[in-house]
Amino acid sequence: MKDKLTYASAGVNIENANKAVEKIKGHVKKTYNSNVLGGLGSFGGLFELGTGYKNPVLVSGTDGVGTKLKVAFMCDQHDTVGIDLVAMCVNDIICQGAKPLFFLDYVATGIISPDKIESIVGGIAKGCTEAGTPLLGGETAEMPDFYENNEYDLAGFTVGIVNKEDIITGENIEENHILVGLPSNGIHSNGYSLVRKLFFDKLKMNVNDSVAAFGHTLGEELLKPTKIYVNDFLKVKDEVSIKGMVHVTGGGFYENIPRILPEGLSASVNLNTWQPPTVFKYMQEKGNIDQKEMFTTFNMGIGLIFVIEACDYSALKSQLPEAIQIGKIVKGDYGVKLWE
């Protein structure tokens, strides 16, 4: 008798998918709050908006982790990239003044490993807990012959809310307003194609190599999860008048800061006001990368920027002691000027 063709013989193991769901349920439920209706497994996630908003506007954002995932594959460590996924989405929408309401995830892989899926989603749940947003639902797709068996991709989606009158657009930014930065904890999740080219192709390094300048292995440095700035924003949003916010992601300083500047205004950034983390200095020296390339590709130690009036700096600083005044708004149409 001829062999019968089945979904399993095509490479899709529904039993493993069900095991993965069982493993992640506990992680997901820990992120729930009183606004979540129903449980995991429905066709759609239910979220009760509640009251407290006079003229509510929903703000959405979606993103991935990029080729940083390649480093996770090399290290066989999968519990931090989920934090990156959440951070990349929620850090974007707070720049419009929105408080994240909920998060959704998408995981696609060649073969479902229940333990690996649990590790990934556990990281996503940890990020959601830190951001104060329920992991409302998601999808795990097993796609044999599309992804390598030990590889996967991640995508995230978040929705936040803000009163219409409180939306942050940058349109009220004026000359002499100041730029206040919050430190990053490293590379975050941008520029990893260049990072991998430098460390693994040019320098021929291994993720297990101990790097004295870092105080730990290369893999540990490269997998530091992106900092989530939601709670920092919530601490100050009612204390100071925020004129603009910048999440310093792909495009670095040169592309992200101009996104919020009104016509005729530019940003003057004083590089003497902070010290970038060691990893950036190491990459610039070992890779012979010029300064403009570094500040176009990486966050260089500043992950989030507020634009506020100078008189509000002390109030912001009292809530966020790590905040640093890094520059000011000036007349001009050159976008960003870095000086020492």
Q: Please, what are the domains in the chain?
A: 14-166 (3.30.1330.10), 178-339 (3.90.650.10)
Determine the Cα–Cα distance for residues 266 and 75; give it in Å rounded to an integer.
42
Does 246 have pLDDT greater than 60?
yes
Secondary structure element (H or E) that encloses residue 271, with its range: none
The rounded mean pLDDT for the chain is 95
User: Which residues, in sequence order, are CB contacts of 109 under 8 Å at separation 6+?
Assistant: 116, 117, 140, 141, 142, 143, 147, 151, 152, 153
Q: What is the number of other CB atoms lying within 10 angstroms of the CB of residue 143?
A: 15
Q: Would you state the pLDDT for residue 51? A: 75
Determine the Cα–Cα distance for residues 147 and 28; give it in Å rounded to an integer.
25
Q: Would you state the pLDDT for residue 271? A: 98
Mean pLDDT, rounded, for 200-222: 98
Does 4 have pLDDT greater than 70?
yes
Q: Give the model's confidence band at 209: pLDDT under 50 very low, under 70 low, under 90 confident, else very high.
A: very high
Q: 154, 292 in Cβ contact below 8 A? A: no
Pick the range with the lowest mean pLDDT from 3-12, 254-263, 317-326.
Answer: 3-12
Pick the range with the lowest mean pLDDT from 28-37, 156-165, 166-175, 252-261.
Answer: 28-37
Q: Give the model's confidence band at 20: pLDDT under 50 very low, under 70 low, under 90 confident, else very high.
A: confident
Helix (H, G, I), strand (E, B) or coil at 43: coil
Q: Phi/psi at 139 (nearest 5 deg)?
A: -145, 135
Q: Give the model's confidence band at 18: pLDDT under 50 very low, under 70 low, under 90 confident, else very high.
A: confident
Q: 257, 337 in Cβ contact below 8 A? A: no
| pLDDT digits 0-9 by tens, 78-112 | 999 999 999 999 999 999 999 999 999 999 999 99
Q: Would you state the pLDDT for residue 225? A: 98
| pLDDT digits 0-9 by tens, 142-196 | 999 999 989 999 999 999 999 999 999 999 999 999 999 999 999 999 999 999 9
Determine the Cα–Cα distance for residues 89 and 330; give it in Å rounded to an integer.
30
Does 19 have pLDDT greater than 60?
yes
Mean pLDDT, rounded, for 210-235: 98
**Torsion of Cα atoms, 236 then 244 then 300 then 297, to 10°:** 140
- Higher per-residue confidence, 63 vs 18: 63
User: Which residues, in sequence order, are CB contacts of 24 under 8 Å at separation 6+?
Assistant: 117, 118, 121, 122, 125
Q: Would you state the pLDDT for residue 186? A: 97
| pLDDT digits 0-9 by tens, 298-308 | 999 999 999 99
Q: Would you state the pLDDT for residue 172? A: 97
Mean pLDDT, rounded, for 35-47: 86
Mean pLDDT, rounded, for 2-9: 80
Q: Give the model's confidence band at 1: pLDDT under 50 very low, under 70 low, under 90 confident, else very high.
A: low
